[in-house]
Amino acid sequence: MADPSRLPLHTLPAFRVAARLGNLRAAAEELHLTHSAVSQQIKLLEEQIGFELFDRRGRRIVLNAAGAALLRAVEPALTQLDDGLRAAAAASGDEAQRIRITLLTSFAQRWLLPRMGRWRERHPDIGIELHTSQNLIDLQREGFHAALRQGAGQWRGLEAVCLTDSPMVVVGSPEAARRVFGRDAAALADEPLLGSPTLWQRWFALSGVRTRVNPVAAFSDAGLMLQAAEQNLGLALAREILAADALREGRLVRLSPIELQDEEAYGYWLAFPDGLRDWPPLQALRGWLFDELAQSQRELDQLKGTAPAGRRESRSRAASATPAARRAR
């Protein structure tokens, strides 16, 4: 049995990256080391513990059973060290004036960017660096402090705070509103529809309308779909919060009081490493987001006026009406 006291700890980051990428040259590029340096670190680790961790297959390396067992054991500790270093750097003041966030393009364009002026007025000493992506970004590996995500609030190694569980509503251009004004939900089935046929099918079922849905266009980005609706290309079934500004400014009109809860996408969350929970810039961001989202909701409620709230699809999942933090499992 290998002696744990002889384990060369400085080789473990190279081992972890090489295991993930399956290629020493790629690992060297990510670690900003030479190919030879990474290879030597892996060799030293294997020599010290007394057995090989990888199977060599040409230019690729693949974890063997021993390597997989070691990775499972050291990964949590390495992740905790990453979080600790990030928290220490933040506490030292080196990163205190800038917070790096990754988020969906649709949320950035349709809701966050129009409010960045108020963030600057409220926190002129804290800069924000935004990175938009449709993909799930590894915060620790990519050097981000937080993420604005859609989901169930369960992301491994991260703490998540629910920001809003905005429903999906039907919106269209003012021209579309004039066409369907005073008509029931069945009339919307004759209109060109934008977005997911599955979600539209559920919305019509909730409305008591039996119809076959065939949208004229589908989109990978909700912001593009709403832009198409503004240009009168069709009706959109979209998150109410993403349409908030367009509804307030009259570029879009809500066409039905019926709201759909999308159980696949859930709500919007602020996710971050546990070690940054008390970091002042992150606390400032969290408070500002809650305030701005509350203001958006008040404006949406004013637009609804005294109109009936309409039916809302019941949800099987448990969700608090107030923001709540959940630790990822």
Q: Which pLDDT does position 264 carry in this prediction? A: 61
CATH code (residue 25)? 1.10.10.10
Q: Helices 65-92 and 12-21 meet at what angle, rounded to 10?
A: 120
Please give the sequence-ordered ranges of beta strands (E in DSSP) within 227-293, or none if there are none.
Answer: 235-239, 253-254, 267-273
- Please name the helix (run of DSSP H) or strand (run of DSSP E) that holds residue 57, with its range, or none: strand 54-57
Please check whether residue 200 is in contact with residue 181, taking contact to mean a CB–CB distance below 8 angstroms. Answer: no
Burial of 197-224, coded b for 16+ CB within 10 Å and e otherwise, reads eebbebbbebbeeeeebebeeebeebbe
Please check whether residue 322 is in contact with residue 316, taking contact to mean a CB–CB distance below 8 angstroms. Answer: no
Q: Which pLDDT does position 32 carry in this prediction? A: 83
Shared domain check, 209 and 83: no
Q: Which pLDDT does position 167 carry in this prediction? A: 92
Q: Which pLDDT does position 93 carry in this prediction? A: 58
Shared domain check, 100 and 9: no
Q: Rounded CA gap, 231 and 225, in Å? A: 10
Question: What SS3 class is residue 193?
Answer: strand
Which residue ranges of the chain lie beneath pLDDT 70? Answer: 1-6, 83-96, 262-265, 305-329
Q: Which pLDDT does position 307 carry in this prediction? A: 43
CATH code (residue 162)? 3.40.190.290
Shared domain check, 100 and 60: no
Q: Helices 24-31 and 12-21 meet at what angle, rounded to 10?
A: 130
Whats the size of the chain, residue-wise? 329
Shared domain check, 198 and 49: no
Shared domain check, 109 and 42: no
- Domain extent at residue 195: 96-329
Radius of gyration for the alpha carbons in the chain, expressed in angstroms and rounded: 25
Shared domain check, 128 and 20: no
Shared domain check, 148 and 86: no
State which amino acid sits at residue 57. Answer: R
State which amino acid sits at residue 159. Answer: E
- Give me 3's structure tokens: 């002696």
pLDDT tens-place string over residues 255-292: 999 999 866 657 899 999 888 888 899 999 999 999 99
What spatial distance separates the first Cα and last Cα of the chain, rounded to whole Å?
A: 32
Q: Which pLDDT does position 80 carry in this prediction? A: 72
Shared domain check, 263 and 132: yes
Of 59, 91, 123, which residue sits at a domain end? 91
CA atoms within 13 A on the CB side of 42: 29
Q: Rounded CA gap, 64 and 18, in Å? A: 13
Please check whether residue 169 is in contact with residue 256, taking contact to mean a CB–CB distance below 8 angstroms. Answer: yes
- Percent pLDDT > 70 in the chain is 85
Of 44, 59, 91, which residue sits at a domain end? 91
Shared domain check, 222 and 137: yes
Shared domain check, 134 and 31: no
Of 53, 68, 91, which residue sits at a domain end? 91
Q: Could you give the number of structural domains in the chain?
A: 2
Please check whether residue 67 is in contact with residue 53, taking contact to mean a CB–CB distance below 8 angstroms. Answer: yes
Look at the block and give the residue holding tokens 């294997």. 46
Shared domain check, 264 and 146: yes
Shared domain check, 183 and 35: no
Q: What is the DSSP string of 277-298?
A: TT-HHHHHHHHHHHHHHHHHHH
Return the closest-CA partner of residue 99 out of 65, 150, 146, 136. Answer: 146
Please give the sequence-ordered ranges of beta strands (E in DSSP) within 75-201, or none if there are none.
Answer: 98-103, 127-132, 146-151, 158-164, 168-172, 193-194
